[in-house]
Amino acid sequence: MSQHTRSMRRAVAPAAISALALSALVLSGCTAAAPAEESTTLVLAAPLTETGDSPYKALADAFMAKYPEYTVTVEETSNDTYGQNLTTKLQAGNAADIFELAPGRGQDRSVLTLAEAGYLLPLDDTNAKSTIPAGNEDQFESDGKVYAQGLDFAVAGIVANLALMKADGIDEYPTTYKDLLADCATAKAAGHSFFVIAGAMVPNTGFFSMVLAGDTVYQDDPTFNTERFEDKVTFADDKGWNEALGRFLEMNDAGCFQEAPEAGTFDTITNNLVGEVSYAGAIPSGAAFGLGGANPNAQFVVFPFPGADIVSASVNYSLGINAKTASPTLAKKFLDFASSAEGAGVFPGVSGNLPVVGADFSALPPQYDGVKSLLTDGKTYALPNSGWESGEVYNNLGTGVQGLFTGQATVKDVLESMDSAW
């Protein structure tokens, strides 16, 4: 997701977690023929958990509780620099043993991108395949080998506070785009905004764009990415993509966003939603639980974008192993624990998303009422950028939307830049 999806958790206060470095264990032995003994320590690198508890730390703690003879240290890096930081360390040969990855392609930390560059250890002798939903295999496999395993199953949509909407006289979540624009006017008259967006953060502007594109592109043309690979279509000439990005301008003119949306950050999203300044944001589904826990008077529910009869749902967080780790056996043991009956519920239990192993869409908590029927009916699509050729395509989309808000770019400019990056 994987997108800015790595932020909202169960509490409000941002976690100020410093990165820890772990020195390599000096191997002992008198002769060159003696087998090298693996370290009993691992380093797990992940994006910073901006609010609430870290699901990565929770998973590490659960593993160490079961295996006290091992130590797992979690290094967290700011969301907006995590991917670049990871690739830099991989190139320098000093990356962590295990790290968070985005399924598919399209980002600098994407599974296939790093696997094909030789940075990931194959996982065919682990339980990784059990964490990959049917139809998602091509986001984790390259040349017939599996290179990452899923951690949880997330919905990428709109998380809305129905209680605040009702207090302003809006009885239900809008079911059409036209209704949305009318509700934006109601929200503005009440001193609120319908949406809050982290306009200064590429992960959120890109994420919001892909939520919009579900309605205008992938609902009617689910094979768009395949057609783009075959050069049968382009972003710039596609009616749906033009409409999706054009809606940012329309919604901004209608007062749908907070003041100065181009300056918004992840903290802006948290503060506006918990503080009842805005109704909704395009954020991962798990955020509904963290936000609701921070404001007991709110009623946060996950929805598709107004008017859409489809929602993005797929594995959002995954783990891979550094091909150069000094502890491959221990790293695989950690991943096997994460997919076991005992460990599979740990990460989603903190992230608020659905378990990737054993999820039951017919028995979802009320926070998923807005998308339950879409999930059970299979009306879903994977995050579009997981199937894009280059991470620069997504980056150009995110920065381009920023330009739309500041007036420094047009819809045509943004889409043409995406085609150029392809």
Name the token pair of 243.
């409409």
pLDDT of residue 283: 94
Residue 90: what residue type? L
Helix/strand/coil for 210 = helix
Domain boundaries defined on the chain: 41-154+314-363, 155-313+367-421
Average pLDDT, consecutive stretches of 10 residues, N- to C-terminus, the chain (422 residues) = 43 32 33 60 93 91 98 93 95 98 88 96 96 83 95 94 98 98 98 98 95 95 93 98 99 98 96 98 92 95 96 91 98 97 92 81 90 91 86 94 98 98 94
Residue 308: what residue type? A
> Under CATH, domain 41-154+314-363 is a member of which superfamily?
Periplasmic binding protein-like II (3.40.190.10)
pLDDT of residue 10: 37
Domain 155-313+367-421 in the same topology as domain 41-154+314-363: yes
Burial 97-129 (b: 16+ CB within 10 A, else e): bbbbbbbbbbbbbbbbbbbeeebbbbbeebbbe
Question: What's the rounded Cα separation, in Å, for the pair 1 and 269?
Answer: 17
State whether CATH 3.40.190.10 applies to domain 155-313+367-421: yes
How many C-beta neighbours within 10 Å does residue 299 have? 17
pLDDT of residue 21: 29
**Burial class, 26, CB count within 10 angstroms (exposed 0-12 / middle 13-18 / buried 19+):** exposed
Q: Which residues contact 283 (CB under 8 A, 6 or more apart)?
A: 4, 5, 7, 8, 159, 204, 207, 269
Compute the C-alpha angle 211/367/15, nearest 5°: 80
Q: Considering the entire predicted model, what is its pTM?
A: 0.77
pLDDT of residue 415: 99
Task: Report yes or no: 103 and 136 within 8 Å, Cβ to Cβ.
Answer: yes
pLDDT of residue 36: 60
DSSP H or E segment with residue 156: strand 149-161
Q: Which of 359, 137, 291, 313 is nearest to 214 (CA)?
A: 313
